[in-house]
């Protein structure tokens, strides 16, 4: 059998993240094999073959016996990160790092690079960075690249040189986005019976709720184009704008004068034609960046004493939220509202609506008619209900696709937020395969009907939350949403762990300068990396079964649980293993059984390529016998992303 080789620099990878790699190769995960070899190609004119070049390696741990010690050049600079490195080595190899040895692993501060470097020299390994946070990144990179598998020897190339410079290597996902205009869009059967035909871009959505007037780099539309650039770089392709309408006396947006008037606080002009033109230009710029725009629409009524209440008193009956409530039995009101919403889409080019409090006020007919009229004009939109719904002929999905009503209602979640799949006690495999916690409260009460629609969001946060909950935890936004079989949705700022105060988040300014704080920047880059993985493998992460219970997800069995269920997403001879670590008390190494049969990539003559998607590094190739079990390093409150590909392999002649 051909020798298993480490091929990080030899084989091309579908997804390579921006880490500058000069020379790097890890340990083989299959034991009892020879070292990887490289040979020069033969030519017809050569009469002699070039000698085989064997990669020279520095052995830092030999059969569990360490041959290195630790040096810190600046006392206290990165002690916590050094301890993390030492603890991981101890857990992985069962050894204690000595005070003196053949080689040194040196940790040092380097102001010359806005990032980190890992370099080998004759004395050992030097890990250097500008900040302690970047030292932590370098430690994670080293451990991911070189300490996987079951081999008790740690060896690295003698010419190892790996670096990351934020100024040169930061991730920009904007090239992964594209806008599909309505005259070119394909329509998809959302309900399986043709009752709702959704534009195809629904399957690629990553949604952020955005309140422009409380964004530090926004305020008014003309000041907010940088926000569109920011979210394009992030990889977000849909922005749900909180209400854009004139507030009126005592209003805050969710209380306003009606859907016919755009707010001067947003447009900077009292002229309505000019104001709607400002919004059209904003939407057009968003489309050029590959971003879809949704308007938030209010149907409970308007603020007291406004123009509509005076001119059309018969349109109102009683109160809602302390103000004038619409009378939806009035046909003239229905026609006005439907026509106004259609007109708002036509004159701005926006892509749909999020419908506040629906379907509790208008039911399904009003927005269903809006949808149909626009479709008749060749404009295809999506419509999101705030509350759970039966979808019918109207709503593509609800705002809170994952909300376990038997444990906590929406108000309870807003007051005391939870990430259901991380700290809310809801198992992600159970949720998908049995519909537990998915969809409306009514449907959840029927085990045969719950979770059987096509699309569900996982709304991590929104404007009603009274506190932030992502808090720099990669599991909360990644494992639970970005890599899961749900449409990710969160409130602006969570992608970089913005500062916040305990209050309804709608009223709190989000300071986008926070993204430049060292720890926030590291988190933001990781979120962009997660989204890049989602968008690089659309056949896996943008696949939607007509019945969500048939989603392309299966459980990954772990040798030792780290507090959460590991899972694999798969399609077309590929699988991505999502391996969460939510237990700080245990080893940061996860050993998983690779479910190649469940993922549909099993075969006697198939070889497998294993790639760490955090770094883009190909770890090794192996046959089915040697791919059954996988051990990788996963930091606490993070998750492994391991790509397993079935590849063609030409067996050597016997």
Q: Is residue 326 in a domain?
A: no
pLDDT of residue 274: 98
Mean pLDDT, rounded, for 195-216: 96
- Pairwise CA distance, residues 319 & 321, whole Å: 7
CA 177/CA 181 separation, integer angstroms? 13
Judge whether 159 lies within some domain: yes
Where residue 60 falls among pLDDT bands split at 50, 70, 90?
very high
Summarize pLDDT for 114-146 with one digit per residue, the tens. Answer: 999 999 999 999 999 999 999 999 999 999 999
Residue 196 has a pLDDT of 86
pLDDT at 257: 98
Considering its fold, how many domains does the chain have in total?
1
Q: Please tell me the pTM assigned to this model.
A: 0.91
3-state secondary structure of 609: strand
Kindly indicate the confidence band of residue 10, based on its pLDDT and cuts at 50, 70 and 90: very low
pLDDT at 262: 98
**pLDDT for 517 beyond 50:** yes
Q: For the CA atoms of the chain, what is the radius of gyration?
A: 27
Dihedral sign for Cα 422, 424, 425, 428, please.
negative
Residue 573 has pLDDT above 70, yes or no: yes
- Looking from the CA of 172 toward its CB, the CA atoms found within 13 Å total 9
Q: Which of 17-31, 249-263, 347-361, 470-484 has the lowest mean pLDDT?
A: 17-31
d(CA 18, CA 389): 42
Q: What is the dihedral of CA 373, 379, 380, 381, to 10 degrees?
A: -80
Tell me phi and psi for residue 126, to 5 degrees.
-115, 125
What mean pLDDT comes out for the span 21-40? 35
- The yes-or-no verdict on residue 373 having pLDDT over 60 is yes
Element (H, E) at 137: helix 132-146
Q: What CATH number should be reported for the domain holding residue 121?
A: 3.30.379.10
In this prediction, residues 576-586 reach a mean pLDDT of 96
pLDDT band at 52 (very low <50, low <70, confident <90, very high): low
Asked whether the predicted pLDDT for residue 12 surpasses 80, the reply is: no
Of the ranges 249-253, 259-263, 389-393, 567-571, which one carries the lowest mean pLDDT score? 389-393
pLDDT given for residue 34 in this prediction: 35
Distance of CA 36 to the CA centre of its chain: 35
Mean model confidence pLDDT for the chain: 91
At 427-459, the pLDDT tens digits run: 999 999 999 999 999 999 999 999 999 999 999
What was the pLDDT predicted at 168? 95
Task: Please report the sign of the dihedral spanned by the C-alpha atoms of residue 184, residue 185, residue 189, residue 194.
Answer: negative
- Take residue 501 and report the two structure tokens written for it: 């105060």
DSSP type of residue 417 = -
First to last CA, the chain: 9
Q: Tell whether 134 is covered by a domain.
A: yes
One DSSP character per residue, 28-41 reads -SSSS-PPPEE-PP
Q: How far is CA 318 from the centre of its chain?
A: 43
Mean pLDDT of 65-92: 96
208 belongs to a structural domain = no
Asked if 399 and 489 touch (Cβ cutoff 8 Å), the reply is yes
Give the pLDDT confidence score for residue 435 in this predicted structure. Answer: 98
Q: Is the pLDDT at 633 greater than 50, yes or no?
A: yes
Give me the pLDDT at residue 604, please. Answer: 66
User: How far apart are alpha carbons 326 and 288 in whole angstroms?
Assistant: 37
233, pLDDT greater than 70:
yes
In a domain, 423, yes or no: no
C-alpha span between 366 and 368 (Å, rounded)? 5
Q: Is 37 inside a domain boundary?
A: yes
Give just the sign of the alpha carbon dihedral 544, 191, 451, 237. positive
> 36 lies in a domain?
yes
Tally Cβ neighbours within 10 Å of residue 52: 9
Q: How far apart are CA 418 and CA 411, in angstroms?
A: 12
Q: Would you call the peptide bond into 359 cis, given omega within 30 degrees of 0 as the criterion?
A: yes
Task: State percent of the chain over pLDDT 90.
Answer: 86
**Which residue range is the domain that position 44 belongs to?**
20-169
163 assigned to some structural domain? yes
Sorting pLDDT into bands at 50, 70 and 90, what band is 23?
A: very low
State residue 50's pLDDT score: 55
Sheet holding 607-612, edge to edge: 553-556, 566-571, 574-581, 638-647, 607-612, 617-623
* Interatomic CA distance for residues 629 and 592, integer angstroms: 6
Is the predicted pLDDT of residue 3 greater than 80, yes or no?
Answer: no
Q: Work out the average pLDDT over 547-553.
A: 98
Distance in angstroms (rounded) separating the CA atoms of residues 323 and 298: 13
């Amino acid at each position: 059998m051909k020798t298993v080789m480490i091929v990080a620099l030899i084989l091309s990878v579908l997804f390579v993240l921006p880490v500058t790699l000069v020379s790097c190769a890890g340990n083989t995960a299959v034991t009892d094999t020879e070292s990887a070899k490289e040979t020069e190609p033969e030519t017809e004119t050569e009469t002699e073959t070039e000698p085989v070049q064997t990669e020279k390696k520095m052995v830092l741990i030999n059969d569990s016996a360490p041959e290195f010690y630790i040096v810190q050049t600046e006392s206290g600079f990165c002690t916590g990160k050094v301890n993390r490195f030492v603890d991981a080595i101890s857990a992985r190899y069962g050894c204690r790092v000595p005070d003196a040895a053949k080689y040194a692993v040196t940790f040092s501060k380097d102001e010359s690079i806005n990032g980190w470097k890992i370099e080998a020299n004759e004395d050992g390994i030097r890990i250097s960075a500008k900040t302690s946070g970047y030292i932590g990144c370098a430690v994670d990179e080293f451990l991911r690249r070189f300490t996987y598998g079951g081999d008790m020897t740690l060896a690295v190339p003698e010419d190892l040189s790996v670096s990351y410079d934020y100024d040169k290597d930061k991730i920009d996902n904007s090239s992964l986005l594209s806008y599909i205009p309505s005259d070119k869009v394909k329509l998809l059967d959302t309900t399986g019976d043709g009752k709702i035909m959704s534009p195809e871009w629904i399957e690629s959505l990553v949604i952020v709720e955005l309140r422009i007037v409380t964004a530090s780099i926004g305020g008014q539309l003309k000041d907010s184009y940088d926000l569109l650039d920011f979210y394009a770089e992030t990889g977000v392709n849909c922005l749900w704008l909180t209400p854009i309408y004139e507030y009126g006396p005592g209003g805050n947006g969710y209380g306003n004068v009606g859907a016919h008037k755009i707010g001067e606080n947003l447009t900077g002009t009292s002229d309505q034609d000019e104001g709607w033109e400002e919004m059209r230009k904003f939407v057009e710029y968003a489309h050029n960046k590959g971003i879809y725009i949704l308007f938030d629409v209010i149907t409970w009524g308007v603020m007291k004493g406004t123009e509509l209440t005076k001119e059309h008193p018969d349109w109102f009956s009683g109160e809602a939220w302390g103000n004038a409530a619409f009378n939806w039995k009035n046909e003239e009101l229905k026609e006005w509202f439907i026509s106004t919403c259609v007109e708002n889409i036509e004159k701005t080019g926006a892509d749909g609506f999020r419908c506040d409090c629906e379907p509790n006020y208008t039911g399904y007919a009003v927005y269903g008619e809006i949808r149909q009229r626009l479709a008749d004009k060749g404009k295809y939109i999506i419509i999101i209900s705030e509350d759970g719904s039966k979808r019918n002929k109207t709503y593509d999905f609800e705002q809170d696709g994952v909300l376990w009503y038997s444990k906590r209602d929406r108000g309870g979640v807003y007051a005391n937020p939870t990430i259901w799949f991380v700290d809310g006690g809801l198992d992600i495999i159970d949720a998908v395969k049995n519909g537990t916690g998915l969809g409306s409260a009514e449907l959840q009460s029927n085990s045969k009907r719950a979770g059987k629609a096509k699309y569900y969001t996982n709304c991590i946060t929104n404007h009603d939350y009274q506190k932030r909950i992502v808090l720099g935890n990669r599991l909360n936004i990644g494992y639970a949403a970005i890599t899961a079989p749900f449409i990710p949705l969160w409130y602006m700022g969570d992608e970089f762990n913005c500062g916040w105060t305990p209050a309804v988040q709608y009223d709190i300014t989000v300071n986008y300068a926070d993204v430049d704080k060292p720890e926030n920047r590291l988190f933001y880059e990781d979120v962009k990396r997660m989204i890049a993985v989602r968008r690089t493998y659309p056949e896996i992460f943008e696949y939607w079964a007509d019945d969500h219970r048939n989603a392309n997800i299966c459980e990954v069995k772990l040798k030792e649980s780290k507090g959460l269920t590991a899972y694999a997403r798969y399609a077309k001879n590929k699988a991505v293993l999502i391996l969460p670590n939510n237990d700080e008390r245990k080893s940061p190494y996860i050993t998983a059984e690779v479910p190649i049969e469940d993922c549909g990539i099993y075969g006697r003559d198939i070889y497998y390529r294993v790639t760490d998607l955090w770094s883009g590094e190909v770890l090794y190739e192996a046959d089915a016998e040697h791919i059954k079990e996988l051990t990788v390093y996963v930091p606490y409150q993070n998750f492994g992303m391991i790509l397993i590909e079935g590849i063609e392999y030409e067996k050597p002649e016997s």
